């Protein structure tokens, strides 16, 4: 089955850029997602990228996809203390038999220091 | 307001005492799913349902049961809870097709002693 891996921790200064990395194994994944989890809350969709795209920009967020290496990254420009949260990478299995199923990475805990 | 609700939000119980965590969505979504979140392991899918009366095992189904008698509800049942089921549980729903944002409930923190 699909395996999604992320580094567990990232610490940055306020105003710097943050880059969170993710790798996945299933090349048939159609959509790749970034979810954000704030303390004590559920997950919220932050952004996504379709597998035939290399890059997607959405305000302070930039998603880069290297399909050949199965590598996904999320860049947050001008990181703020309010961006401190856990960020999850997720890949769908729409290209396989488990329609609608998402496989999540372990989550990256982003800590932003003033 | 479009939402996924879960109850209870917090539960402390003892080994072997059957419990049910309810999940309900008001978005007429086809697909519903249960995940557990454990430190360092991310979210792991327990069970999912692609429609009424259609359920299937996820990655970690052992010790859990689900049912989908109505489209809006997807309860998670622990017939005989054990301490290794202490975790944070999330219910999610989505349309279940193509670009598919999953909407998550607020979570249920379960402690089994």
Nearest to A100 among B41, B97, B107 (CB): B97
Question: Is the pLDDT reported for residue A24 higher than 80?
Answer: yes
Q: ∠ CA(B24), CA(A108), CA(B89), 5° rounding?
A: 25
Q: According to the model, what pLDDT value does residue B41 have?
A: 87
B33 CB neighbours in chain A (<8 A) are 100-101
Q: Are A88 and B102 an interchain contact pair (Cβ–Cβ within 8 Å)?
A: no
Are A85 and A73 contacting, i.e. CB atoms less than 8 angstroms apart?
Answer: no
Q: According to the model, what pLDDT value does residue B97 have?
A: 64
Q: According to the model, what pLDDT value does residue A99 have?
A: 58
Outline where DSSP puts E strands in chain A: 4-6, 9-13, 18-24, 31-37, 43-50, 55-58, 61-66, 71-76, 85-92, 102-104, 108-113
Q: Are A42 and B105 an interchain contact pair (Cβ–Cβ within 8 Å)?
A: yes
Q: Does B38 touch chain A (CB under 8 A)?
A: no
Which chain A residue shows the shortest CA-CA distance from B47?
A101
d(CA B76, CA B66): 5
Q: According to the model, what pLDDT value does residue A81 have?
A: 95
| pLDDT per position as a tens digit, B40-91 | 888 999 999 989 999 999 889 999 999 999 999 999 999 999 999 999 999 9
| pLDDT per position as a tens digit, A59-90 | 999 999 999 999 999 999 999 999 999 999 99
Q: Does B35 touch chain A (CB under 8 A)?
A: yes
Question: Is the pLDDT reported for residue A27 higher than 70?
Answer: yes
């Amino acid at each position: 089955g699909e395996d999604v891996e992320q580094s567990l921790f990232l610490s940055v200064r306020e105003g710097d850029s943050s880059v969170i990395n993710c790798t996945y194994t299933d090349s048939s994944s159609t959509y790749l997602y970034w979810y954000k989890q704030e303390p004590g809350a559920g997950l919220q969709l932050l952004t996504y990228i379709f597998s035939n795209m290399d890059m997607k920009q959405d305000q302070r967020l930039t998603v880069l996809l290297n399909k050949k290496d199965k590598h996904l990254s999320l860049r947050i420009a001008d990181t703020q203390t309010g961006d401190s949260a856990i960020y999850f990478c997720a890949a769908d299995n729409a290209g396989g038999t488990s329609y609608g199923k998402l496989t999540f990475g372990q989550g990256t805990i982003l800590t932003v220091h003033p | 307001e479009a939402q996924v609700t879960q109850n209870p939000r917090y539960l402390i119980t003892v080994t072997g005492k059957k419990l049910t965590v309810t999940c309900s969505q008001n978005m007429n979504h086809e697909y519903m799913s249960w995940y557990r979140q454990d430190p360092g392991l991310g979210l792991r899918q327990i069970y999912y349902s692609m429609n009424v009366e259609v359920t299937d095992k996820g990655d970690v189904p052992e010790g859990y049961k689900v049912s989908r008698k109505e489209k809006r509800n997807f309860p998670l049942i622990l017939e005989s809870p054990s301490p290794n089921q202490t975790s944070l549980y999330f219910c999610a729903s989505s349309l279940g097709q193509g670009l598919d944002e999953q909407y998550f409930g607020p979570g249920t923190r379960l402690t089994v002693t």
